Structure 1
Amino acid sequence: MEQVKDLRITLIQPNVYWESPVENRERISEMMNTVSGNTDLVVLPEMFTTGFTMNASALAEPMNGETMAWMKAKAAELNAAICGSAIIEDEGGSYNRLLFVHPDGSYQSYDKRHLFFIEGEIGVFEPGKERVIVNFRGWRIGLYICYDVRFPVWSRNRNDTDLALYVANWPASRTRVWQTLLKARAIENQIYVAGANRVGSDGNEVDYCGDSLLVNPRGEVMHRLENREVVVTGTLSIENLENFRLKFPVGNDADDFRLL
């Protein structure tokens, strides 16, 4: 069995142009170019092509649309996986869908389970029904979107996760909550956690201050991105993760449960 290597993970924290997919893809391409050849996984925020808009009827793309084509091209160019959520139209419904695209063009997707009712996601988007764990370069990676981070049962490590990704448009007014929840998910699950957020203001005059985080299984912040457009890469050690779990195996005492 091939030994699992350390994972270089890049968080990209952009100022997302409101409802402008072309501009956002161009800007994020520029930011990605700074890590060419030096990363394994690039994580983008929630709805990185549009901002957190409910205008799905005008902005939804098919799975084989321009954003997926762009993600495949960038993944191949960087020889790295690209991950972020976009508005996708599929089987007659609209989804806030997280796309995880591999360098060879294959992909997995996750539909946001917990729709944020306060901003009107319910009724616009269809809720996701299944957890998704991706295997990439030997790492088991859980896919989640924004509001999902508030629900620990959905995020539970069922002995199948090494890293959880939370892509978000999380407002500045609740940034302490965002940071606290990301740390909690890492601690209780003994996993690495990456949270990718945005900066700037959107078309609804909601302000964002970034605070994208990379957190280790002890809940210690490895990287915290400041309130500006920025790209940061960190390295995750599978050896350190496994040693920590062996020395402090709290997962053995976790409660059993079953989701309805």
Structure 2
Amino acid sequence: MRIAAVQHDIVWEDREATLRHLDDRVAGAVAGGARLVAFTEMFATGFSMNTHTTAEAPDGPTVTWMVDQAARHDVWVAGSLAMRLPERELPVNALCVVSPGGEVHRYDKIHPFSYAGEHERFGAGDRFVTVDVEGVRLTPFVCYDLRFADEFWACAATTDAYLVVANWPAPRRHHWRALLDARAIENQAYVVGVNRVGEGGGLSYTGDSRIVDPLGEVLVSGAGGETVLFADLDPHVVAKVRDQLPFLPDRRTG
């Protein structure tokens, strides 16, 4: 299954302008053979704490755009947004994976980024989600989740590829790259890291998106500007690596 990681800029808190900017990115990714097109964390608004402005309903404009793009191009689409749920006091940072038929799979970020005050504006998720995307078992995570290896470990046995969408700022770019590589090596799975570029909320972002294979080799990477990264994710490669190097059964969780 070919994935396209879209490393893109975001018009700060301007959903309509950003989505217009991204329209052509989906078409370009599909032209490159992608079956899953992945955008960044809060890909339409930027990583904003102004949830009174940015948060929307599950059937709001961003998810509606994703469903429309998925149907129009017969492709899977993924990205996160600030989502307001009727049963929750605070919005969640929801990573949605949308099928070509319009089915929306949602993972709510388990670890709000307290250093930036995210925990004061967003509620925490409480469950993992794994989606079968054309034979690839895909487990999504969001940005700060990447620092918590135990969450990735918990899903390893049923995961071929992890998708990590982010707004990870430039000053800690080395952490981003090192942790993506580590999660791939530890879990013998593909890791797809999709990060934004540009300026937003007083922070600078350099992208550094990358796709890492189950042995920790970087298949493709990009930094500095807008780009689309492509890679083929093969569950048979994951199975072969785990069979030849059976490290996971030695893991102790107690």
- TM-score normalised by structure 1 residue count: 0.93
CA distance in 2 between counterparts of 1:160 and 1:246 reads: 15
Gaps of 5+ in 2: none
Tell me, in whole angstroms, the C-alpha distance in 2 between the residues paired with 1:197 and 1:230.
Answer: 11
| Aligned residue in 1 for 2:6 | 12
Which residue identity does 1:171 align to in structure 2? P
Offset of residue 45 of structure 1: 0.4
Q: Distance in 2 between matches of 1:67 and 1:110?
A: 15
Q: Normalising by the residue count of structure 2, what TM-score does the alignment of the two structures yield? A: 0.96
Query: Which residue identity does 1:30 align to in structure 2?
Result: D
**Equivalences for residues 1-260 of structure 1 within 5 A:** 7-37=1-31, 38-91=33-86, 92-156=89-153, 157-202=155-200, 204-257=201-254
Gaps of at least 5 residues in structure 1 are 1-6
The 1:24/1:109 distance shift into structure 2, 3 A limit, reads same
Which amino acid in structure 2 is aligned with residue 77 of structure 1?
R
CA displacement at 1:221 relative to structure 2? 0.5
Instruction: State the Cα distance separating 1:242 from its structure 2 match.
Output: 1.5
Contact 2:13–2:48 at 8 Å: present in 1 too?
Answer: yes
Hey, what's the Cα distance between the residues in 2 that align with 1:222 and 1:77?
Answer: 29
Task: After TM superposition, give the deviation of residue 88 of structure 1 in Å.
Answer: 0.6
Partner of 1:3: none
Deviation, 1:170, is 0.2
For residues 41-72 of structure 1, give each alpha carbon's deviation from its aligned partner in whole angstroms, at most 9, with x where no partner exists: 11100000110100001221100111111101
In 2: Cα distance, 1:60 partner to 1:237 partner: 35
Give the residue type in structure 2 aligned to 1:85.
Answer: S
Alpha-carbon distance in 2 for matches of 1:14, 1:201: 11
| Structure 1 position 39, deviation (Å) | 0.9
Residue 4 of structure 1 aligns with which residue? none
Q: Give the AA of the match of 2:198.
A: G
Q: Distance in 2 between matches of 1:77 and 1:229?
A: 23
Report percent identity of matched pairs.
36
Q: CA deviation at 1:17?
A: 0.6
Structure 1 runs of 4+ aligned residues shifted over 3 Å read none
Shift of 1:158: 3.9
AA partner of residue 43 (structure 1): A
Question: Whole-Å Cα distance in 1 between the matches of residues 113 and 103 of structure 2?
Answer: 29
Calculate the aligned-residue CA RMSD, in Å: 1.1
Equivalent position amino acid for 1:23 in 2:
A
Q: Which residue type is aligned with residue 29 of structure 1?
A: D
Query: Which stretch of structure 1 is more off in the superposition, 75-84 or 32-41?
Result: 32-41
Count of residue pairs brought into register by the alignment? 250
Q: Distance in 1 between matches of 2:24 and 2:133?
A: 25
Which structure features the higher share of helix residues?
2
